[in-house]
Amino acid sequence: MRVSVDQAASVIHPLRTRVNPEHMVAELCYSNLTTLTNDMSPLPDLAESWTANTDFTEWTFKLRKGVRFSDGSPCTAKDVAATFVAILDPKTAAPARAIVSVIKEAVAVDDESALFRLHTPFADLPATMAYNATRIIPAAIAQGDLGRLSRESIGTGPFKLVSYEPDRLIVVARNEHYFMPGQPYVDRVEIRVYPDNSAETSALLAGDNDLMVITAQSEFGRLKGVRGVDAMQVPSGQFLNVNMACDAKPFNDLRVRKALSLCVDREALVGFVALGAGKPGDDVPVNSIYRFWKKQTPKKPDIAEAKRLLAEAGYPNGIDLALIASDNPGTRTQLAVALREMAKPAGFRITVQTMPHAAYLDQVWKKGPFYIGFYNTQQTVDGVFTLLYTSDAAWNETRWNNKAFDELVAEGRRTADEARRTEIYGKAQDMMYAETPSIIPIFFDLQGGKRSYVKGYALHPRGHIFRFERVWLDEGAPKRG
């Protein structure tokens, strides 16, 4: 099966992946304890079941029997425990560290039982274990040379790595040790990198590729009504955000952040940037696909109030700002340009700079004071907050560092009662709505395309769950190999 992606998979270390093609390669070669259904409920993966004590402070995950890594060595609860010890070690620089920081201790009870003792009660641990950067690795590597996994792949996933050219082609082949009988259904997957969206779409239409997991909004129309091609679309929690460094001028002043937020015509952006395939956002990073989402009063543009707030903050003659956008996806630049024009009447003089995505990741991401971010759906509300917005978040881009917000998120984690959790997470969302640590104007539908002979594949709202082991090529697929 030939799969196209729109950017390089520069990182294959399964505990350090950042972007969709990297998550894809890691999922092909490794397993999580759980995965997520399309309605975001936890589903067995490497673990076949799980149980908790009465107050959700201890969880036991029972592993499938007879699991082996791709090199033939057995995978046991010792490997699971060692993986999480490595994730929780700051030296590993694992994005999942903050997300699973609720774990106090991970131990192997026996070969097939992994016990997690938590700092506080946490009812969402099974769903959290589906986070993309919690793939299980061998204990010998977790406790030794972790750097090996930046060069090679040893996992329990359905495939094993054959070749790796991050900017061009990644090839995986069937893992004969995979624990699911009869899977994967295809023998080999080629992941082909297309930095140009138009060229990627053309390759699918020409039959040069079989599956295009993410299609740019600007290209999606080309797939509709084409014989032999299926256009796919699903609502998601994927969003663009305008990150503002809340720990430095001018964005440490709430009035400046609010003023900029009041310039945004969100309905217009859904049309202009998402081409209608999405919904407006109100500066809160969760939407209706999440449990515990709270509906807010829609934010509307108010240029007069924006000008008043900006003047009150000490900028009566306006303010000059430089906004940076990666070139991937192209919607980042579209949002930046639209924001520039929308904010002009209020006195924001914004210069937009677009840079190659690799340079953006190296020079701007998590460092810059004012830039466009892009994120997929996370596994839970807690997952969004602890990845991006708590003070100890792995990707704390805004440096909002709000202790009251941190305390609400921590309380939500240790609360088992559903009604109380709804109240707690609602308060956290109210706080973000009011204080605008970042501007979140759009949630996108996910769009993709495939040849009609590709069976068993559906877009997942999470954005980087693919399950290629369950996909097959039906009659009509071109002969190859």
Tokens for 224?
A: 């509709």
Q: What percent of the chain has pLDDT over 90?
A: 87
Residues 296 and 344 sit within 8 Å (Cβ to Cβ): no
pLDDT(195) > 90: no
**What are the DSSP E strand ranges found in 281-419?**
319-326, 348-355, 370-375
Find out if CATH 3.10.105.10 is the number for domain 236-444. yes
Residue 173's H or E segment, with its range, is: strand 169-174
Q: Once rounded to an integer, what is the mean pLDDT over residues 146-154?
A: 94
Q: What is the pLDDT of residue 144?
A: 93
Of 219-228, 374-383, 435-444, the poorest mean pLDDT is in: 374-383
As assigned by CATH, the class of the 2-150 domain is alpha beta
Q: Once rounded to an integer, what is the mean pLDDT over residues 157-166?
A: 96
Residues 244 and 343 sit within 8 Å (Cβ to Cβ): no
- So where are the chain's domains? 2-150, 159-234+447-473, 236-444
In tens, the pLDDT along 461-481 reads 988 899 999 999 998 888 776
In 89-123, alpha helices (H): none
pLDDT(157) > 90: yes
Q: Once rounded to an integer, what is the mean pLDDT over residues 210-217?
A: 92
pLDDT-derived band at 75, boundaries 50, 70, 90:
very high
Q: Once rounded to an integer, what is the mean pLDDT over residues 296-304?
A: 98
For the segment(s) 159-234+447-473, the CATH number from 3.30.430.20, 3.40.30.10, 2.60.40.1180, 3.40.190.10 is 3.40.190.10
Tokens for 436?
A: 């605008």
Q: What percent of the chain has pLDDT over 70?
A: 100
Q: Once rounded to an integer, what is the mean pLDDT over residues 226-254?
A: 97
In tens, the pLDDT along 365-418 reads 999 999 999 998 988 999 899 989 999 998 999 999 999 999 999 999 888 888
Residues 155 and 69 sit within 8 Å (Cβ to Cβ): yes
Q: Once rounded to an integer, what is the mean pLDDT over residues 307-324?
A: 98
Q: What is the pLDDT of residue 272?
A: 92
Higher pLDDT, 261 or 476: 261
pLDDT(104) > 70: yes
Q: What is the pLDDT of residue 479?
A: 78
pLDDT(314) > 90: yes
Tokens for 463?
A: 């954005």
In tens, the pLDDT along 328-338 reads 888 999 999 99
